[in-house]
Structure 1
């Protein structure tokens, strides 16, 4: 979750919890810690309802640096543990050192699980070689209708190695399909026929596989309500094919797209 109007964001978090949307994602990078403070304030009295995730910046991810960063995040979030702690993207510090720190934090009860973010297949192969199968809780990556690059190799690899995918920016980053474009018209046609919104259809498309999850930004209660309704929407194979055609996969890029 990124920075927005504090009052609206807190109302959105509370509304999400009321609707059963319990995964709250943040990072030390967002607002240089300000977003973690905002989330911490919003979760006072409701921490037990939340699966709380945060991330450490690569340049902080040494063995000792990871511990310090985690402690600072815990303080800002007003909690004694994180449910999930991730390396924000691959960096220069040896990955084995970061993973060792994560495992120590698990043993200390500071985090329940650890994962990674913005890791391509090669990065994951390295992490799996260090940690072993079953230790990487997730790989959080960019994924939306207009950016489907992870479908080339990353999704099959993660499925084969039991690493769940968490899609960030599932509506694009301020670049949701224009309703005047051919692809946007197809998206809206499916939404109209189903009596739902275009964003609900877009989200349902990403969630068509059971090992893929999504963390749409929702800074207003009405956004949260829209997202919650998408959870009950299942697209037909014909609707999925229409969207795959309207939003073509394209060539595999040289590097993993990220924000």
Structure 2
């Protein structure tokens, strides 16, 4: 379990990744994303998660360049989108992302969704990028157990990470157990269930006891569950508050109450609900 904002988790290829970072899904490119990333870096964040689909890699890159922080101190993630998947198109997509970000390499590159009939070819391209030293680590996003089992049958490089929807209403118990067995780190997107959990009575009671917000309680639960988390915000105050979770601990009883909230309910799309 990480104990401070810049503490890291060691992935299965021995690359160290910060256990807490900033996500920029649906953050408008330009001034908005530049301001958010700069605020996060100012407050000590060192991990930024973007994607081709977010259409804000340019602003993320601008903020990184203007921050003055040495590149080797940062951990930058991006993802290949659905219509970019396939062997050659993934290699081309990676180059586009690097160009927009203004970087020479990524720390982590993910398959955004398991596109049927394509994600294995996409993975083969990502293995090439990894073996050629173009990216420090490769992983997946929104993969169920059966997707991972299928991928692992033919893969030569083990995914280091699976980024999925994860929050108290969707604690992904079986997936977490599978990933732990395969040494695949779980990472949470939408840890606050897009704001739907902020007025929950159970969480509010725990928050009151600790003198914290419900958002901070959820994010602390993530940390104590050993799940990397990347909450999104565009306001400096909330970006700072989201990281103010390392001065207290949830009790075992608190953790059990939050764990019991799981109802397998999603705010986002189930990868199996439509034909990707």
Q: Which TM-score tier does this pair reach, normalised by the shorter chain? A: 0.7 to 0.9
Q: Residue 157 of structure 1 aligns with which residue?
A: 178
Q: Residues 4 and 51 of structure 1: is their aligned pair in 2 closer, same or farther, counting only changes over 3 Å?
A: same
Q: Residues 64 and 177 of structure 1: is their aligned pair in 2 closer, same or farther, counting only changes over 3 Å?
A: same
Tell me how far 1:215 sits from its aligned partner.
0.8
Q: Residue 80 of structure 2 aligns with which residue?
A: 56
Alignment of 1:139-158 (within 5 A): 139-148=162-171, 150-151=172-173, 153-158=174-179
Q: Residues 250 and 89 of structure 1: is their aligned pair in 2 closer, same or farther, counting only changes over 3 Å?
A: closer
Structure 1 unmatched runs, 5+: 179-183
Q: Residue 220 of structure 2 aligns with which residue?
A: 204
Q: Residue 155 of structure 2 aligns with which residue?
A: 131
Q: Residue 86 of structure 1 aligns with which residue?
A: 110
Q: Residue 20 of structure 2 aligns with which residue?
A: none
Q: Number of paired residues?
A: 243
Q: Contact 1:22–1:49 (CA<8 Å) still a contact in 2? A: yes
Alignment of 1:1-259 (within 5 A): 1-2=24-25, 3-4=27-28, 6-30=30-54, 33=55, 35-44=56-65, 45-46=68-69, 47-132=71-156, 135-148=158-171, 150-151=172-173, 153-178=174-199, 184-210=200-226, 212-245=227-260, 247-249=261-263
Tell me how far 1:206 sits from its aligned partner.
2.1
Structure 2 unmatched runs, 5+: 1-23
For residues 173 and 186 of structure 1, what CA distance do their matches in structure 2 show?
Answer: 18
For residues 95 and 54 of structure 1, what CA distance do their matches in structure 2 show?
Answer: 16
Q: Contact 2:111–2:123 (CA<8 Å) still a contact in 1? A: no
Q: Which 4+ residue blocks in structure 1 deviate beyond 4 angstroms?
A: 255-258
For residues 96 and 103 of structure 2, what CA distance do their matches in structure 1 show?
Answer: 10
How large is the Cα RMSD of the aligned pairs? 2.3
**TM-score, normalised via structure 1 length:** 0.85
Tell me how far 1:40 sits from its aligned partner.
0.8
Q: Contact 1:58–1:93 (CA<8 Å) still a contact in 2? A: no
Structure number with higher helix proportion: 1
Tell me how far 1:257 sits from its aligned partner.
7.8
Q: Contact 1:88–1:116 (CA<8 Å) still a contact in 2? A: yes
Q: Contact 1:58–1:92 (CA<8 Å) still a contact in 2? A: no
Q: Contact 2:32–2:234 (CA<8 Å) still a contact in 1? A: yes
Q: Contact 1:22–1:50 (CA<8 Å) still a contact in 2? A: yes
The DSSP-based 3-state class of the residue aligned with 1:141 is strand
Q: Residues 227 and 94 of structure 1: is their aligned pair in 2 closer, same or farther, counting only changes over 3 Å?
A: same
Q: Residues 63 and 250 of structure 1: is their aligned pair in 2 closer, same or farther, counting only changes over 3 Å?
A: closer
For residues 182 and 45 of structure 2, what CA distance do their matches in structure 1 show?
Answer: 27
For residues 232 and 40 of structure 1, what CA distance do their matches in structure 2 show?
Answer: 31
